[in-house]
Copies of this chain bind each other. A is one copy, B any other.
């Protein structure tokens, strides 16, 4: 039996039971095409295959590389690149090889690029309140007309209420989601098509206006989403580290320990990770310095499960995840959608 004791650290662990419960909970809420899982969260075709086996055969991607990798893995039934690209040649090649590829567009230039690149299907990306990509709602109809005039199939609209995802109060989150979606539905009335795509892990249960939800983080979770009390998903992702140094308490300074997990194995944009039964002081390139609640309970060589604050950029730093049942390693999940 191979266990986590056999791993070099840092190493990404995925708790199989928690993952399976998260997948089942989401599939029960949003079966089949009601969920369009976002692969940017895990960048892993093996994990996407589990989502497909649960009935979700349409996927959301954030990069061209993710689209290419999903198609190569036989998961190309319906791939939405929910992001703008001006060089659509690579996407067009994936479509020419038999995958269904739909690109988000929000400008004349991206519409023309889709047509020129051989990407036959688009959705109009609408700004619903997050200042990022997306056209103004009242521009959406004109862009759809332009797209159709160039021979493109316009499948509908998308918009991302990203600024709403982590609002702690569920009623406030629902209310702001409704405001965002009213903009998206207004655009959809002008655009037409079957798709109204939006949402994420934070709004999957309150966004009843979109007809498909682009959630990704729900499968593995992080401390940012974990702090949203109404979400039913469990932490399934951990960065395994080894305690490499410890300094006992002296002169009123509490004792601290150091684990070999750092900035280069953790997404840091949401802040420091958590370590159970301890307080994190700070992170360095290859270290977390933390104060254990009970210093004497932590020994050199101990394995520690560090809980990342943001799942997506954490996984992007690793070559693979290890699927575990308790401490036993049951599978290797290559993070095969990295890069661009």
Q: Which of A40-55 contact B (CB under 8 A)?
A: 40
Structural contact, B258 and A133, CB atoms closer than 8 A: yes
Q: In the complex, are the beta carbons of A131 and B245 less than 8 A apart? A: no
- Residue from the list B83, B242, B281, B317 in contact with A86, Cβ < 8 A: B242
Q: Provide the residues of chain B in CB contact with A83, threshold 8 Å.
A: 244, 260, 286-287
Chain B residues contacting A179 (CB-CB under 8 Å) are none
> A312 CB to closest chain B CB, in angstroms?
5
Q: How many copies does the complex hold?
A: 2
Closest partner residue, chain B, to A301 (CB atom): B86
Tell me the smallest distance from the CB of A303 to a CB of chain B, in Å.
Answer: 11
Q: Are A285 and B312 in contact (CB-based, < 8 A)?
A: yes
User: A283 — nearest CB in chain B belongs to which residue?
Assistant: B269
The interface size of chain A toward B, counting residues with CB under 8 Å, comes to 57
Docked-complex contact B244 and A287, CB < 8 angstroms: no
Expressed in whole angstroms, the Cα–Cα distance for A313 and B269 within the complex equals 12
Residue A230 CB within 8 A of the other chain: no
Residues of the B chain whose Cβ atoms lie less than 8 Å from the Cβ of A90: 8
Q: Compute how far the CA of A263 lies from the CA of B281 in the bound complex, rounded to whole angstroms.
A: 23
> When chains A and B are docked, how far (Å) is the Cα of A109 from the Cα of B24?
44
Interface residues of A in 73-94 (CB under 8 A from B): 83-87, 90
Residue A233 is within 8 A (CB to CB) of chain B in the complex: no
Query: Per-residue 0/1 for A218-257: is the Cβ within 8 Å of any B Cβ (1 yes, 0 no)?
Result: 0000000000000000000000001011110010000010
Q: A287 — which chain B residues lie within 8 A by C-beta?
A: 83, 132-133
With A10-B340, A107-B245, A313-B264 as given contacts, are A285 and B131 in contact (CB-CB < 8 Å)? no
Tell me if B340 and A281 are in contact (CB < 8 A): no
Which residues of A pack against B, CB within 8 Å?
Answer: 8-11, 40, 62-64, 83-87, 90, 106-107, 109-110, 127, 131-134, 136, 162, 242, 244-247, 250, 256, 258, 260, 263-265, 267-269, 281, 283-287, 289, 300-301, 310, 312-313, 316-317, 319, 339-340
Known: A110-B244, A264-B312. 19 other contacts (CB 8 A): A8-B87, A8-B340, A40-B285, A63-B286, A83-B260, A83-B286, A85-B260, A87-B242, A109-B300, A109-B301, A110-B300, A133-B245, A136-B250, A265-B340, A267-B268, A268-B268, A268-B269, A269-B283, A285-B312
A-B contacts, 20 listed (Cβ < 8 Å): A8-B64, A11-B340, A40-B285, A62-B286, A63-B286, A83-B287, A85-B244, A107-B246, A109-B300, A131-B247, A132-B245, A132-B287, A133-B244, A133-B258, A133-B287, A134-B245, A136-B247, A263-B310, A268-B269, A285-B313
